[in-house]
Structure 1
Amino acid sequence: MKQVTYVVKDELGLHARPAGLLVKVTGGFKSDIRLSANGKEADGKRILGIMSLGVKKGDKVTFACKGVDEERAAVQIESFLNDNL
């Protein structure tokens, strides 16, 4: 299992636009991708799950990738977070 932890810098947090873009990234992998923040966990491939976490600026989010392409998934997720949040 590979994990990526990130502190959200975007003023609006993880709102609809970046959540939708994130799902496009995570949906391309076979690995199971879980997102946790604020003591809650969600499927990292489903926009409603991501939005339900209510991630705001300054919140720490952790992605856990487990599966055949977990390494590549973690790298792509980290790149996305650095570029978009």
Structure 2
Amino acid sequence: MILRRSHPNDKLIVVSREITVQNELGLHARPAAEFVRVANGFRAEITLIKDEQRFSASSLIDVLRANLDRGATAVLEARGADAEAAITRLEKLLIEFRKRKED
């Protein structure tokens, strides 16, 4: 986990964590849509970084373009006052996906 402030007088917090997609079918349409819905519930700007490309976690098209198949790793980055909460919730969601029976 990396937690840093961009400027001493700024309340912008940046949190990033490496994630690994572990559910059998990866982040396909249904889980990707839920991932985006949850990401949009936070004020933080949330980004997926895979192979040096950045994808908005608030865009279903971007999340699908990230091609997060089973075993894929990416960095989940959030910028904003609720960045820590956003990353924690999205990590938990990825774990929930792994535990669910695939559709």
RMSD: 1.2
Normalized per residue, the structure richer in helix is 1
**Whose RCO is larger (CA < 8 A, sep 6+)?**
1
- Is 1:70 equivalent to 2:75 in the alignment? no
Percentage of matched positions with identical amino acids: 27
Summarize deviations over 1:19-78 as a string: whole Å, max 9, x none: 000011100011110011233220011100000111111110211001011111111111
Q: Which residue is equivalent to 2:42?
A: 29
Following TM superposition, where does structure 1 have runs of at least 4 consecutive aligned residues deviating by more than 3 angstroms? none
Structure 1 gaps of 5+ residues are none
Q: Which has the larger radius of gyration?
A: 2
Following TM superposition, by how much is the alpha carbon of 1:8 offset from its aligned partner in structure 2, in angstroms?
Answer: 1.1
- Is 1:6 equivalent to 2:19 in the alignment? yes
Q: SS where residue 4 of structure 1 aligns?
A: strand
Structure 2 gaps of 5+ residues are 1-13, 99-103
Aligned residues: 85
Q: Which residue is equivalent to 1:52?
A: 65
Using the alignment, how far apart are the partners of 2:84 and 2:67 within structure 1?
Answer: 27
